[in-house]
C-alpha cells in the first residue's frame, strides 16, 4: 500500500491489524458471510490473508475493534483511484461488528478512523457497497453522511465467465 505520510490517531477500541490477527480476521469475515446470508461463499484462508494483508505485495489493510481484550469487529479496506479526480481513495470491502457488540460505537469509530486515514493520506473519497435489504446498515451509513450513488449498479465478472473471457 502507499506510504503513510501521517499516521492519524485511532479512536479508542480501534487498532491496526497485525499478522497475528489473521485468525480473528478470517473468523469475522466468516461471521459477516453468515450475516449476509451467504456463508458458503468464503473460500479465503489464513495463508491468503497473510499474503495479501501483510506480505511484501500487500494490497489491503485492516482495522480491528477490541472489547475486553477480544477482537469483536473488522474493517478491511484497500486503496482505490479516481481517474476523474486524479486522486486515490479508500474502498471499504468489509465492515463487521459482532452482533452482541453493536451499539457500542465501534461502527462509527471505524468510519472515523477510515476518514482520518483518507484525509491524512491526501485521498478524497471513502466508498463501499451495502446489500439493499440491510436497512440497519443503510440507516447507519446515512446518519454518518453517506449517500447512495444513484444510477450506478455494481457488476462483477468471476469464475468460468472470467476465465472464458481471458482466453
Query: Could you list the active site residues?
Result: 141
Nine cell digits for residue 123: 485521498
Between CA 89 and CA 127 the distance in angstroms is 8
Neighbours of 29 (CB within 10 A): 18
Between CA 43 and CA 63 the distance in angstroms is 21
Between CA 88 and CA 106 the distance in angstroms is 25
Neighbours of 101 (CB within 10 A): 18
Cell 481471458 locates to 166
Between CA 33 and CA 1 the distance in angstroms is 26
Cell 476465465 locates to 163
Q: Is 140 exposed, middle or buried (0-12, 13-18, 19+ CB in 10 A)?
A: middle
Amino acid at each position: 500500500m502507499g506510504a503513510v505520510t501521517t499516521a492519524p490517531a485511532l479512536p479508542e477500541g480501534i487498532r491496526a491489524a497485525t499478522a497475528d490477527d489473521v485468525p480473528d480476521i478470517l473468523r469475522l469475515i466468516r461471521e459477516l458471510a453468515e450475516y449476509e446470508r451467504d456463508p458458503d461463499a468464503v473460500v479465503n484462508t489464513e495463508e491468503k490473508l497473510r499474503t495479501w494483508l501483510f506480505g511484501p505485495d500487500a494490497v489491503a489493510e485492516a482495522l480491528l475493534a477490541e472489547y475486553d481484550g477480544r477482537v469483536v469487529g473488522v474493517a478491511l479496506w484497500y486503496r482505490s483511484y479516481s481517474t476523474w479526480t486524479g486522486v486515490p481513495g479508500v474502498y471499504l470491502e468489509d465492515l463487521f461488528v459482532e452482533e452482541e457488540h453493536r451499539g457500542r460505537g465501534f461502527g462509527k469509530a471505524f468510519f472515523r478512523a477510515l476518514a482520518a486515514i483518507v484525509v491524512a493520506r491526501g485521498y478524497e473519497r471513502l466508498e463501499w457497497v451495502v446489500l439493499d435489504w440491510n436497512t440497519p446498515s443503510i440507516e447507519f451509513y446515512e446518519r454518518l453522511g453517506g449517500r447512495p450513488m444513484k444510477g450506478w449498479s455494481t457488476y462483477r465478472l468471476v469464475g468460468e465467465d472470467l476465465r472464458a473471457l481471458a482466453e
